[in-house]
Amino acid sequence: MTGATGAPLGVALLKALREMPEVETHLVMSKWAKTTIELETPYSAREVAALADFSHSPADQAAVISSGSFRTDGMIVIPCSMKTLAGIRAGYAEGLVGRAADVVLKEGRKLVLVPREMPLSTIHLENMLALSRMGVAMVPPMPAYYNHPKTIEDVTDHVVTRVLDQFGLEYHKARRWSGLRAVENVSQENE
């Protein structure tokens, strides 16, 4: 987790992954992620860290996830600040988030970034395009309206579902697109 707004997304992802005992989670929270967590959620950074199987200091370049010999299925940066995204693109591995992302890229593993910024500058877009061409999945947290979200939690669950889709992990808290007729039926039910 990095310091971009969107800390509830990271918390929701960790909660979803706790429901999947086959998934081992390693959490790194940047300094600003910790601040953002306390601004945007009812949780402390310590409580969020407890949601992960393992939590690492952002300065710990010797953590297991800093080595390609430590096997993982991939990495998710949620939320992902534009500073972190730019660093990943440039291979600037200062701090554990950047180093772990660099390792995932060099090992050919799945890297998913959930970039949080609005509006996007040309620099942001070029960085995202370059990373996409490297095989990085960009999953911006854009709400879907076809599923008629009623709460922020509905929007968050949709984003978490789409992130987990990148790893083939099933999560059933969001309504998926099931065709236009299904949407029309839901719309009529809500009238």
Q: Give a yes or no: residue 1 inside a domain.
A: no
For position 70, what pLDDT does the model report?
A: 98
pLDDT surpassing 70 at residue 173: yes
Domain count, the chain: 1
Tokens standing for residue 142:
């854009």
Q: Give a yes or no: residue 89 inside a domain.
A: yes
CA distance 182 to 48: 37
What's 171's domain CATH number? 3.40.50.1950
Please give the residue range of the domain that contains residue 167: 7-184
Residue range 22-32: mean pLDDT, rounded = 97
User: What's the chain's average pLDDT?
Assistant: 94
Q: Give a yes or no: residue 50 inside a domain.
A: yes
Contact 79, 141 (CB under 8 A): yes
Inter-axis angle of helices 95-106 and 82-90, to 10 degrees? 50
Please give the model's pTM, rounded to 2 decimal places. Answer: 0.92
Distance between start and end Cα atoms, the chain: 39
Q: Give a yes or no: residue 191 inside a domain.
A: no
Q: Give a yes or no: residue 190 inside a domain.
A: no
Q: Give a yes or no: residue 189 inside a domain.
A: no
pLDDT in tens, 4-15: 899 999 999 999
